[in-house]
């Protein structure tokens, strides 16, 4: 996968104090961040945080209310077609005609590009060989995603936007897409990734930008965001649910408390002393709950994301 670069030596994507209002409602409110060339940037946020609006402004489909955006040194407001000739866009819904066949869609998209990638190579890369004569509407969700990625890659983009690239994919397809994203980065392609899968962002991203309510609330490398001055976390996995109030009553003398990170998974912030571990095990035994796993770890990206954006459901 070879890409020739041009344009400005600044970041591949630069947003400076970008706002977007729909009437009186601010969807994006002072967004500022930079994706460097050859970098995978994960843009994370809860539903309604402004991610989609931000990406659509970068792609030249929406105009910001104020602020500036540079895409490969080009203003997407004044030169949207020039921007789109140098980027790739992977839509989560696929973006194909329902009756068109897989190979026909690839050939059609290739015809729009001056130097498209080899269609047969893309078909093999993304495991579409047995689907070439299948109409789009008959594809599974994961197959549509793989086709959408092929369509985004076919024009040899310098910057590619991936929206939930592994949604609906099986484990094998998901790992294959991770390998493709890593290969694009090695070839110098810049990637802006939006995903709700925190392990995906942690595995792929050079830089993470977390947004909430239209503004950047945290950014840094995954290592920077997950390192913290808090004590290491004692993590506990059980076969059935623990009674948290009872567990925390048993732990009160250690001046720590447990919280559920997700179903059947619990965390305790504090030094993993033998006495604390013994108290945890004793209380689990008293509740007749089997411990499946017990270890010491530091926060992962999901913990950071939930700490920053909150754990409550949103409308």
d(CA 153, CA 180) in angstroms, rounded, equals 10
d(CA 309, CA 49) in angstroms, rounded, equals 10
- Would 13-226 and 233-297 be classified into the same CATH topology? no
Q: What is the pLDDT of residue 6?
A: 37
d(CA 175, CA 251) in angstroms, rounded, equals 40
Rounded mean pLDDT, 130-155: 94
d(CA 97, CA 80) in angstroms, rounded, equals 23
State the pLDDT confidence band at 84, using cuts at 50, 70 and 90.
very high
Q: Mean pLDDT score of the chain, rounded to an integer?
A: 91
Q: Are 195 and 42 in contact (CB under 8 A)?
A: yes
Of 289, 229, 237, 286, nearest in space to 263 by CA: 237
Angle, alpha carbons 280-282-286 (nearest 5°): 115
d(CA 314, CA 234) in angstroms, rounded, equals 29
DSSP element (H, E) containing 55: helix 51-58
pLDDT: which is higher, 67 or 300: 67
List, in sequence order, the alpha helices (H) in 140-294. 141-153, 171-186, 198-204, 222-226, 244-251, 274-286
For the chain, the domains span 13-226, 233-297
Return the CATH fold of 233-297.
Alpha-Beta Plaits (3.30.70)
Q: What is the pLDDT of residue 10?
A: 75
Burial class (CB in 10 A: 0-12, 13-18, 19+), 47: exposed
Percent of residues, the chain, with pLDDT higher than 90: 81
pLDDT: which is higher, 131 or 95: 131
The pLDDT tens digits of the residues spanning 197-221 come to 999 999 999 999 999 999 999 999 9
Tally of CB atoms within 10 A around 197:
19
Return the CATH fold of 13-226.
Rossmann fold (3.40.50)
């Amino acid at each position: 996968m070879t890409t020739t670069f041009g344009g400005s030596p600044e970041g591949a994507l630069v947003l400076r104090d970008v706002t977007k209002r729909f009437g009186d409602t601010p969807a994006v409110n002072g967004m500022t961040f930079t994706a460097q060339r050859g970098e995978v940037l994960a843009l994370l946020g809860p539903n309604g945080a402004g991610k989609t609006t931000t990406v659509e402004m970068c792609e030249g489909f929406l105009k910001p209310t104020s602020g500036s955006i540079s895409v490969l040194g080009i203003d997407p407001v004044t030169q949207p077609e020039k921007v789109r000739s140098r980027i790739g866009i992977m839509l989560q819904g696929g973006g194909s005609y329902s009756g068109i066949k897989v190979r026909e869609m690839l050939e059609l998209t290739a015809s729009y590009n001056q130097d498209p990638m080899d269609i047969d190579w893309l078909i093999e890369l993304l495991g579409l060989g047995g689907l070439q004569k299948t109409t789009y509407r008959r594809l599974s969700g994961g197959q549509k995603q793989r086709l959408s990625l092929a369509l985004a890659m076919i024009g040899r983009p310098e910057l590619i936007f991936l929206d939930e690239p592994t949604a609906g994919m099986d484990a094998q397809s998901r790992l294959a897409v991770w390998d493709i994203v890593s290969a694009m980065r090695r070839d110098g392609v810049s990637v802006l990734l939006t995903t709700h899968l925190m392990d995906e962002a942690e595995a792929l991203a050079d830089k993470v930008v977390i947004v909430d309510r239209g503004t950047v609330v945290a950014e840094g490398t995954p290592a920077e965001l997950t390192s913290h001055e808090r004590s290491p976390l004692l993590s506990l996995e059980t076969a059935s649910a623990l009674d948290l109030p009872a567990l925390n009553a048993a732990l009160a003398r250690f001046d720590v408390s447990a919280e559920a990170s997700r179903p059947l998974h619990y965390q305790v912030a504090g030094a993993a002393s033998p006495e604390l571990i013994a108290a945890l095990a004793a209380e689990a035994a008293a509740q007749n709950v089997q411990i499946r796993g017990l270890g010491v770890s530091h926060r992962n990206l999901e913990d950071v994301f939930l700490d920053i954006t909150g754990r409550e459901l949103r409308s």
